Structure 1
Amino acid sequence: MTEFKIMSETFYEQPTLDLAKALLGCLLVKETPEGMAAGYIVETEAYKGPGDKAAHSYNNRRTSRTEIMFHRSGLAYTYKMHTHCLFNIVCGDEDHPEAVLIRALEPVYGIELMQKRRGMENLTNLTNGPGKLTKALRITMEDYGHSLIIPPLYVAEGFYPESISAGKRIGIDNSGEAKDYPWRFWVTNNKYVSRHQTALYVVR
């Protein structure tokens, strides 16, 4: 199996908005008995916990679903939305529940396996959405709470994006002023981004 340099535990201890940007270009890897599948992270959204009306943990809401968000950084927070499983990375200090949603990947390894799982051949649409990428990599609710510094689910070094764009998060229209926060980040002009919009600003 291909060897990757897995990101260290300290990588996840940076501020949430910084982590959401730092994850861009990193490789998200899932190993299963069927084989390994992986893709470069090209789009993220930051959710800043208790003060963010769009976050599941707004007002320190602690439930069986959000419990893992109150733990240390670098753990997997998976949850169901409709029929999809969505994948987030826990960050923020312990008992200060924040997270980064992984919204899109550029498929790199195990592409045929991902195509089989998704029942499609189109590479552009294979992992360009939070529900699409989890199905392609077979990230499930069983990964809830998994430490991302060890297999079978982990983040590894990838590439350094030349340019990062920022804009409003998607699908949170009922979250008051939080819907306008520019906390969605993506690799500029990457064709695997889930939804293309005009950037509010360019990070670099």
Structure 2
Amino acid sequence: MREFSRIDRGFYARDTVRVAKDLLGKMLVRRINRTLVSGIITETEAYRQADDPASHAHRGMTERNRVMFGEVGIAYVYFTYGMHYCVNVVAKNKDHDAGAVLIRSIKPVSGIEVMIRNRGMDDSKNLTNGPAKLAAALDITKKQYGEDMVNSKSLYITTGPEMACKISAGPRIGISRGSEMLWNFRMAI
């Protein structure tokens, strides 16, 4: 895999919505034992705090969401529907007490055979095209909660290959409140 530059902490210290859009085309990288597993981020969603009724942080800090209120660039991994993990990166500016970007989808680049094995699949179709699917494929669990994605050796985000693509914005998926906010971003590649 070609080496790309890691994303620095300053990148995440901006408006959550802007960071969500700017993460498109970056690479999510996971080191599993000696294997690098990675993919181009193709879909994200922004979640802020006070102005966002769909956010886990909307009603204040809890044990589950505490990292959303802390330092930017930290992994916020949560368990949902009693069976799936989802991975976010904390991103917010000084105007918001909390915020994170959900990484909803990646296009696999390296370690695809590991992803297939982790998902228990026979091929790569639909391997990482959803937040729970990508977390399973990259073996992201509660163990990665609070991991520093700026300095970690096992879970981080880098720049990605230069590519021209169309980016669309729409409502976030699977929420009942805050659906009018067009904070889901996708790239067509």
> What one-letter code is carried by the residue in structure 1 that aligns with 2:170?
G
1:33 equivalent to 2:33? Answer yes
Q: Is the 8 A contact 1:25 1:161 kept in 2?
A: no
- Judge which range, 1-10 or 67-76, deviates more: 1-10
Aligned partner of 1:200 in structure 2 is: none
Aligned partner of 1:86 in structure 2 is: 86
Q: Return the match for 2:160 from 127, 138, 158.
A: 158
Aligned partner of 2:174 in structure 1 is: 171
Deviations 1:174-199 (A, max 9, x none): x1xx11211100003x4xxxxxxxxx
**Aligned length, in residue pairs:** 185
Report the TM-score when normalising by structure 2.
0.92
Equivalent-residue separation in structure 2 for 1:45 and 1:102 (angstroms): 7
Equivalent-residue separation in structure 2 for 1:121 and 1:105 (angstroms): 18
Percent identity for Structure 1 against Structure 2: 41
Q: Where does the alignment leave 5 or more consecutive residues of structure 2 unmatched?
A: none
Q: Where does the alignment leave 5 or more consecutive residues of structure 1 unmatched?
A: 191-204
Structure 1 outlier segments of 4+, above 3 Å = 1-4
Give the deviation of 1:161 after TM superposition: 4.4
Deviations 1:35-85 (A, max 9, x none): 2211000000011212211000113x2110011111011110000002001
> What one-letter code is carried by the residue in structure 2 that aligns with 1:153?
L
Q: Is the 8 A contact 1:85 1:140 kept in 2?
A: yes
| Larger relative helix fraction | 1
Secondary structure of 2:79's aligned partner: strand
1:76 equivalent to 2:75? Answer yes
- Judge which range, 139-148 or 157-166, deviates more: 157-166
